[in-house]
């Protein structure tokens, strides 16, 4: 039974990756189980310089999901590569450095540093960050800025480059095609949906920045549809995420076209979520007599 996948020279032993921002740098989860069982770990989103993150409340629960407005708080790329990546190197799993930025220059410098780090196997570029040169609109909203930032990062990144797409894009398929043209080796989708929660007693948004990112099972059917649309349009591998809590959820994404999947919000609900998804995929393959995941990948056109 084969459920591994090779992205260029990087081998994923199984298709399950712990999603960025929901797994930290693995320390807490390593106390619960051996992280070597995972296909990969995407680090907490990291920028060139340390970032304090957003003010005020940063998360709240919603029906079948959660909202967050963390604002990419992180200790900066130099610290992460020196202090956090060596810990992840102890485990037999793929390390994806999730890179954020607010300018093309900051993206390029941060990605270059991560690319040169021996313990990092692939770069996952988060283009949902606000572009300070264009009024704060995220790089991933339109194909032009998305193509530009990926093109510049591609010039310095030798390792496989994954571009994480925003579902808030004006036309997600066009953005996906743009980043593929700019040199992306794969795309991952979807990131969180822009959403709002109002405190009706205080008559104002719960979040300082008004809007926040919605994730969890509530978004899964939309995410599956978006993965399918992008899969049918691009020629590079697609990594699917958005509300996966079980092996059957992951199989949906794979049938929609995903080569790999990421588990995010479920990690807050259950520290063994990733393990459960891996086991669920195995059980489904056995029960359905599937020898290789390629047999069902993208079967739903």
Return per-residue pLDDT of the chain as tens, 301 residues.
Answer: 999 999 999 999 999 999 999 999 999 999 999 999 999 999 999 999 999 988 999 999 999 999 999 989 999 999 999 999 999 999 999 999 999 999 999 999 999 999 999 999 999 999 998 877 777 789 999 999 999 999 999 999 999 999 999 999 999 999 999 999 999 999 999 999 999 999 999 999 999 999 999 999 999 999 999 999 999 999 999 999 999 999 999 999 999 999 999 999 999 999 999 999 999 999 999 999 999 999 999 999 8
Closest CA to 213 of 195, 231, 235, 186: 195
User: Is residue 129 among the annotated active site residues?
Assistant: yes
At 60 the three-state DSSP class reads strand
Beta carbons within 10 angstroms of residue 238's beta carbon: 29
Q: What is the CATH number of domain 5-55+66-193+212-295?
A: 3.20.20.70
Tell me whether residue 205 is exposed, middle or buried, using C-beta atoms within 10 angstroms of its C-beta: 0 to 12, 13 to 18, 19 or more. Answer: middle
* Chain center to CA of 65: 17
Cα separation, 166 vs 100, whole angstroms = 13
The dihedrals phi and psi of 40, each to the nearest 5 degrees, come to: -170, 165
The catalytic residue among 60, 117, 129, 274 is: 129
Sorted by sequence, the CB contacts under 8 Å of residue 193 that are 6+ apart come out as 167, 168, 213, 214, 215, 219, 222
pTM: 0.96
Structure tokens at 268: 């807050």
Cα separation, 218 vs 241, whole angstroms = 12
């Amino acid at each position: 039974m084969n459920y591994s996948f090779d992205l260029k020279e990087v081998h994923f032993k199984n298709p399950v990756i712990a999603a960025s921002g929901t797994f930290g740098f693995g320390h807490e989860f390593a106390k619960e189980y051996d992280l070597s069982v995972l296909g990969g770990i995407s680090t907490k989103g990291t920028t060139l310089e340390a970032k304090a993150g957003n003010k005020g409340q940063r998360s709240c629960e919603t029906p079948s999901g959660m909202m967050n407005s963390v604002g990419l708080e992180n200790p900066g790329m130099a610290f992460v590569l020196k202090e956090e990546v060596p810990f992840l190197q102890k485990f037999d799993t793929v390390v994806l450095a999730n890179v954020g930025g607010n300018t093309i220059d900051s993206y390029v410098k941060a990605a270059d540093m991560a690319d040169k780090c021996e313990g990092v196997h692939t770069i996952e570029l988060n283009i949902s960050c606000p572009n300070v040169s264009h009024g704060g609109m995220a790089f991933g909203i339109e194909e032009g800025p998305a193509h530009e930032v990926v093109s510049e990062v591609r010039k310095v990144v030798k390792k496989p480059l994954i571009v994480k797409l925003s579902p808030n894009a004006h036309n997600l398929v066009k953005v996906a095609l743009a980043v593929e043209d700019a040199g992306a080796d794969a795309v991952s989708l979807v990131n969180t949906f822009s959403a709002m929660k109002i405190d009706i007693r205080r008559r104002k948004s719960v979040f300082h920045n008004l809007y926040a990112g919605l994730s969890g099972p509530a978004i899964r059917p939309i995410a599956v549809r978006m993965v399918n649309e992008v899969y049918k349009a691009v020629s590079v591998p697609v990594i699917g995420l958005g509300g996966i809590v079980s092996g059957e959820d992951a199989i949906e994404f794979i049938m929609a076209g995903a080569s790999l999947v990421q588990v995010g919000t479920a990690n807050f609900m259950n520290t063994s979520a990733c393990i459960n998804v891996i086991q669920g995929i195995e059980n489904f393959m056995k029960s359905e007599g599937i020898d290789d995941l390629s047999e069902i990948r993208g079967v739903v056109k």
